[in-house]
Structure 1
Amino acid sequence: MQTSLDIQYIFELFPYLLKYLSVTMGMAIWGFVLALIFSVTIAIIRVFKITVLAQLCALFISFFRGTPLLVQLFLLYYGLPRFFPIFEGLDAFTAAVIGLSLHFSAYMAESIRAAIMGVDKSQMEACLSIGMTRSQAMRRIILPQASRVATPSLMNYFIDMIKSTSLAFTLGVTEIMAVSQMEAASSFKFFESFLAVAFIYWAVVVFFTRIQYLLERYLNRAY
Structure 2
Amino acid sequence: MQVFDVDFALNLLPLMFSYLKVTLAMSALSLCLALILSVFIALIVQAKVSVLYPMAKVYVSFFRGTPLIAQLFFLYFGVVQLIPSLKGLDAFTAAVIGLSLNASAYMSETLRGAILSVDKGQMEACLSIGMTYLQSMRRVILPQAARVAIPALSNNFVDIIKGSALAFTLGVTELMATAQMEGAASYRFLEAFTDVILMYWLITLAFSRVQQKLEQKMNQAY
* TM-score bracket relative to the smaller structure: over 0.9
CA distance in 2, matches of 1:47, 1:6: 55
1:137-165 per-residue CA deviation (whole Å, 9 max, x = no partner) reads 11000000000001110011101111110
Give SS of 2:172's match: coil
What letter matches 1:200 in structure 2? M
Identity of aligned residues (%): 54
Partner of 2:27: 28
Partner of 1:198: 197
Give SS of 2:4's match: coil
CA distance in 1, matches of 2:158, 2:36: 17
Q: CA RMSD in A?
A: 0.7
Superposition pairs of residues 168-179 of structure 1, within 5 angstroms: 168-179=167-178
Partner of 2:105: 106
What letter matches 1:110 in structure 2? E
Partner of 2:76: 77
1:100-131 per-residue CA deviation (whole Å, 9 max, x = no partner) reads 00001000000001111111011011111222
CA distance in 2, matches of 1:175, 1:4: 27
> Does residue 118 of structure 1 match 2:90?
no
Partner of 2:50: 51
CA distance in 2, matches of 1:74, 1:102: 13
Give SS of 2:103's match: helix
Give SS of 1:19's match: helix
* Structure 1 unaligned blocks of 5 or more: none
CA distance in 1, matches of 2:37, 2:173: 26
Q: TM-score, normalised by structure 1?
A: 0.98
Partner of 1:184: 183
Equivalenced residue count is 222
1:32-85 per-residue CA deviation (whole Å, 9 max, x = no partner) reads 100001100000000000011010000001100010000000000000111111
Give SS of 2:50's match: coil
**Alpha-carbon offset, residue 3 of structure 1:** 2.1
CA distance in 1, matches of 2:110, 2:77: 30
Partner of 2:207: 208
CA distance in 1, matches of 2:108, 2:189: 38
CA distance in 1, matches of 2:150, 2:173: 31
What letter matches 1:10 in structure 2? A
Give SS of 1:116's match: helix
**Alpha-carbon offset, residue 86 of structure 1:** 2.1
